[in-house]
């Protein structure tokens, strides 16, 4: 069970802590297997102390700004969830113009036959570092295509260089 977008609904630390405690109690009572927090923008949550969620879900992928990437990683370090999940790896859709103009395959090692959608999906596991990426689709072929991308490796050097470029652009 997820508490979605608490940066919008639980604007103070006490309200968020109470909501998270209720979810933790629900899981402990066996009414759900696990609980978590799903945040589109973790920056407003940075100073909040909450019971340790099982899962922290954050935006992931090449279209996420460096400030949100770094805040996601900092929040995961602070809250220490059992798992960190990514969401929205395509920034909404694989049919956006950015995916026609940009080739995300450069973020993977030895990936000549991988599609752009697969590369964008697989690279989202490193931006920020996440254990799982959630996607929404009703197309079984698209889902199959994405799961096949898990066989490829992220090129950590390229990801580091990309993040450095994002930071430099932010400072400019």
Question: What domains lie within the chain, and their CATH numbers?
Answer: 2-171 (3.20.20.100)
Strand, helix or coil for residue 164: helix
Instruction: Kindly report the pTM of this predicted structure.
Output: 0.91
CA nearest 46: which of 15, 70, 82? 70
Strand, helix or coil for residue 13: helix
Helix (H) or strand (E) holding 148: helix 140-148
Regarding beta strands 108-109 and 153-154, do their DSSP bridges make them parallel or antiparallel, or are they unpaired? Answer: antiparallel
| pLDDT for the residue 122 | 96
91-119: pLDDT as tens digits? 877 777 888 898 999 999 987 789 999 99
Regarding beta strands 132-134 and 83-87, do their DSSP bridges make them parallel or antiparallel, or are they unpaired? Answer: parallel
Distance CA 134, CA 40 (A): 13
DSSP string, 103-128: -GGGGEES-TT--HHHHHHHHTTBTT
Residue 70 has pLDDT above 80, yes or no: yes
| pLDDT for the residue 154 | 95
| pLDDT for the residue 137 | 85
| pLDDT for the residue 95 | 77
Residues 6 or more apart from 64 whose CB is under 8 A from it? Answer: 72, 91, 127, 128
């Amino acid at each position: 069970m997820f508490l979605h977008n608490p940066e919008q609904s639980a604007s103070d630390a006490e309200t968020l802590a109470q909501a998270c405690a209720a979810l933790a109690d629900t899981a402990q009572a066996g009414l759900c297997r696990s609980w978590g927090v799903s945040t589109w923008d973790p920056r407003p949550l940075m100073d909040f102390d909450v019971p340790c969620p099982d899962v922290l879900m954050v935006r992931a992928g090449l279209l996420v700004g460096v400030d949100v990437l770094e805040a996601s990683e900092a929040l995961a370090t602070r809250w220490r969830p059992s798992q960190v999940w990514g969401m929205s790896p395509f920034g909404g859709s694989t049919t956006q113009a950015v995916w026609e103009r940009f080739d995300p395959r450069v973020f993977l090692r030895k990936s000549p036959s991988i599609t752009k959608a697969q590369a964008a999906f697989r690279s989202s596991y490193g931006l920020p570092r996440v254990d799982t990426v959630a996607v929404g689709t009703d197309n079984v072929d698209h889902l199959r295509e994405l799961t096949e991308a898990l066989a490829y490796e992220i090129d950590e050097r390229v990801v580091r260089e990309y993040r450095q470029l994002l930071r430099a652009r932010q400072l400019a």
